[in-house]
């Protein structure tokens, strides 16, 4: 596998072409941003943790019946993934109120929902990733109704798996964000990453936040929290 030119640099990852037109290499950075890039910082070692963690979880999810972009881990920070066209929707699943949900509806953080919720944000930095509903997503042609159904079903399946997995690690899965992509034949697969950057994870015993909210809200101990989640995941594999 030969790494070729850089195609894209995002907030947390870089993407490179390879000698195989259907494969890419992603490289995880330690850079962290919040509030649509307004807050910037570094979480030392985060790229290594997120790369490993995301790959471990995606391999488990494949076994559970969710297709993903994962192909092969190359190094501490680099992974070969299938080339996809990203569906420009952030797919957010929530089990417990927190973050923008709590703010929008005036609900304290920590309300446990009877059933998980699924929502979409339109991935568009200029617009600040606005909330979007199914009809609007179809209207602006970011996905078809069938694709949205598939994405929702996969997102809930990911939740079923992750909720149980993290529970066994002594961690409550509050909410998370997924992104999906389309292969050249139109198949929908899970893409991007699953990590403490993209999930809210609370310690089951103490309720301590073990995710990127420590960075977003200046709570301190960010690196330790990421390391703690990684340690528990490894103990459980």
Q: What one-character DSSP code corresponds to residue 111?
A: P
Contact 189, 181 (CB under 8 A): yes
Nearer to ligand TMP, 137 or 199 (CB): 199
The residues, any chain, with a CB within 8 Å of residue 158's CB and separated by 6 or more, are: 61, 66, 93, 176, 178, 190, 194
Nearer to ligand TMP, 50 or 55 (CB): 50
> Is residue 176 within the footprint of ligand TMP (CB under 6 A)?
yes
Binding range to ligand TMP, per CB under 6 A, among 18-26, 73-81, 97-105, 225-233 = 97-105
Tell which residue, 192, 116, 194, 118, has the closest CA to residue 150.
Answer: 118
> Is residue 179 within the footprint of ligand TMP (CB under 6 A)?
no
> Is residue 142 within the footprint of ligand TMP (CB under 6 A)?
no
> Is residue 59 within the footprint of ligand TMP (CB under 6 A)?
no
Tell which residue, 122, 131, 117, 188, has the closest CA to residue 154.
Answer: 188
Helix axes 222-236, 46-64, angle to 10 degrees: 30
> Is residue 177 within the footprint of ligand TMP (CB under 6 A)?
yes
Binding range to ligand TMP, per CB under 6 A, among 62-70, 135-143, 196-204, 229-237 = 196-204
Contacting residue, 190, 199, 225, 233, with ligand TMP by CB under 6 A? 199
Contacting residue, 61, 66, 79, 101, with ligand TMP by CB under 6 A? 101
Cβ burial of 48 (10 Å; 0-12, 13-18, 19+) is: middle
> Is residue 198 within the footprint of ligand TMP (CB under 6 A)?
yes
Q: What token pair was written down for 112?
A: 């446990």
Contacting residue, 55, 159, 173, 175, with ligand TMP by CB under 6 A? 175
Q: Interface residues with ligand TMP (CB under 6 A)?
A: 92, 98-101, 175-177, 198-200
């Amino acid at each position: 596998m030969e790494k070729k030119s850089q195609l894209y640099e995002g907030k947390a990852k870089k993407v490179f072409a390879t000698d195989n037109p259907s494969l890419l290499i992603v490289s995880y950075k330690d850079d962290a941003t919040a509030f649509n890039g307004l807050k910037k910082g570094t979480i030392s070692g985060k790229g290594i943790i997120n790369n490993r963690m995301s790959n471990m979880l995606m391999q488990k999810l494949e076994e559970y019946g969710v297709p993903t972009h994962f192909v092969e881990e190359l190094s501490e920070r680099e992974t070969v993934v299938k080339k996809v066209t990203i569906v420009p929707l952030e797919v957010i699943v929530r089990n417990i109120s927190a973050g923008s949900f709590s703010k929008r509806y005036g609900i304290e953080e920590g309300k446990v929902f009877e059933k998980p919720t699924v929502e979409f944000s339109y991935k568009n930095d200029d617009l600040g990733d606005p909330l979007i509903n199914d009809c609007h997503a179809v209207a602006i042609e970011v996905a078809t109704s069938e694709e949205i159904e598939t994405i929702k079903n996969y997102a809930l399946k990911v939740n079923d798996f992750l909720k149980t997995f993290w529970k066994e690690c002594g961690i409550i899965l509050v909410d998370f964000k997924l992104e999906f992509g389309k292969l050249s034949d139109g198949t929908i697969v899970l893409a991007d990453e699953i990590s403490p950057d993209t999930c809210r994870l609370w310690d089951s015993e103490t309720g301590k936040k073990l995710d990127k909210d420590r960075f977003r809200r200046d709570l301190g101990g960010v690196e330790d929290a990421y390391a703690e989640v990684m340690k528990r995941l490894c103990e459980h594999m």
